Amino acid sequence: MSLQLTEVWRYPVKSCRGEQLTEAAVEPWGLAGDRRWMIVDGAGDPVTARECPPLVLVSPRVEDGKITLASPGLPEVTVPVPSGGDLVPVNVWGSDLLATLADDAAATWLTGIIGEPARLVYLDDPTRRATNPKYSLDTDRVSFADGYPLLLTSMSSLDELGDWLAADGDQPVPMNRFRPNAVVTGFGPWAEDRWRRVRIGAVTFRVAKPCGRCVVTTTDQFTGVRGSQPLRMLARKRRFGQSLVFGQNVIPDTPGQIRIGDPVEILEYAS
């Protein structure tokens, strides 16, 4: 099997439904258009599918200077992409920064889904937020993603996880549970644990750290229904310290374009 990129995903609004792409521009802070929007509460803290599973049913569409939000059984809402205007303080897992507040119509619509006051914010300047310096360079930046510009996952690892689940009488889970940006194939299960530098097409990435998984992985991305797998299985098979690991957080070194079918080359392994 050839070593190649098989899926590309971006998530315009953090924790909402993703878009599967055939190609994407890789910017220093992530895929173009990935997680530049976020839902926050009155304190500016993120509202995510961790505490509000129905957010995975919200489909964002960004085009022509507007963002449209849709969800089953509800009328769509469309608001302009803010340019200038009110900057408000927000927080992403301990990282404080400023973002631009979107129109009140989005806040009203999202409040109806969440059941508590919520606002939509836009990261107009993606250079504002630094990555964790423990695993990256001082110059590295990230959008509203949890911690790093892209998440890379492997189909072989998902297949083995599915085998473990099936052996316990559970249904395998699809890759969308893990909300990756780049999915690769052709490598052995968990080979990605040893990668340190990767090239996809013409774009090179540093592997920052393994991705510790949360309760969102137990949420069906098409129904919003929450179960217990795959976290229970990851706790048995893929526990590294306090983290239940699936996938690798990566940082672009040479921004460019990636597309499905691009060859994948491992440039450096852990010693």
Is there a domain that residue 127 lies in? no
Per-residue pLDDT of the chain (271 residues), as tens digits, is 689 999 999 999 999 999 999 999 999 999 999 999 999 999 999 999 999 999 999 999 999 999 999 999 999 999 999 987 789 999 999 999 999 999 999 999 999 999 999 999 999 999 999 999 999 999 999 999 999 999 999 999 999 999 999 999 999 999 999 999 999 999 999 999 999 999 999 999 999 999 999 999 999 999 999 999 999 999 999 999 999 999 999 999 998 999 999 999 999 999 8
Say how far apart CA 100 and CA 90 lie, in whole Å.
10
Domain that holds residue 54: 37-122
Q: What is the pLDDT of residue 2?
A: 85
Last-in-domain residue among 61, 88, 122:
122
Is there a domain that residue 160 lies in? yes
Q: What is the pLDDT of residue 130?
A: 97
Is there a domain that residue 65 lies in? yes
Is there a domain that residue 139 lies in? yes
Is there a domain that residue 78 lies in? yes
Q: What is the pLDDT of residue 1?
A: 64
Say how far apart CA 129 and CA 144 lie, in whole Å.
8
Is there a domain that residue 42 lies in? yes
Same domain, 197 and 100: no
Same domain, 68 and 140: no
Same domain, 141 and 104: no
Same domain, 76 and 58: yes
Same domain, 222 and 152: yes
pTM over 0.85: yes
Same domain, 196 and 166: yes
Same domain, 136 and 236: yes
Last-in-domain residue among 73, 103, 122:
122
Token pair for residue 115?
A: 């059941």
235, exposed or middle or buried, with CB in 10 Å at 0-12, 13-18, 19+?
exposed
Is there a domain that residue 73 lies in? yes
Same domain, 80 and 158: no
Same domain, 246 and 165: yes
From 33, 28, 27, select the one nearest 9 (Cα to Cα): 33
Domain count of the fold of the chain = 2
Strands of 44-149 (E only): list them. Answer: 59-63, 66-70, 77-80, 87-92, 95-101, 119-122
Is there a domain that residue 14 lies in? yes
Same domain, 103 and 228: no
Last-in-domain residue among 102, 122, 142:
122
Same domain, 141 and 237: yes
* CATH number of the domain encompassing residue 140: 2.40.33.20
Collapsed DSSP state (helix, strand, coil) of residue 50:
coil
Same domain, 108 and 170: no
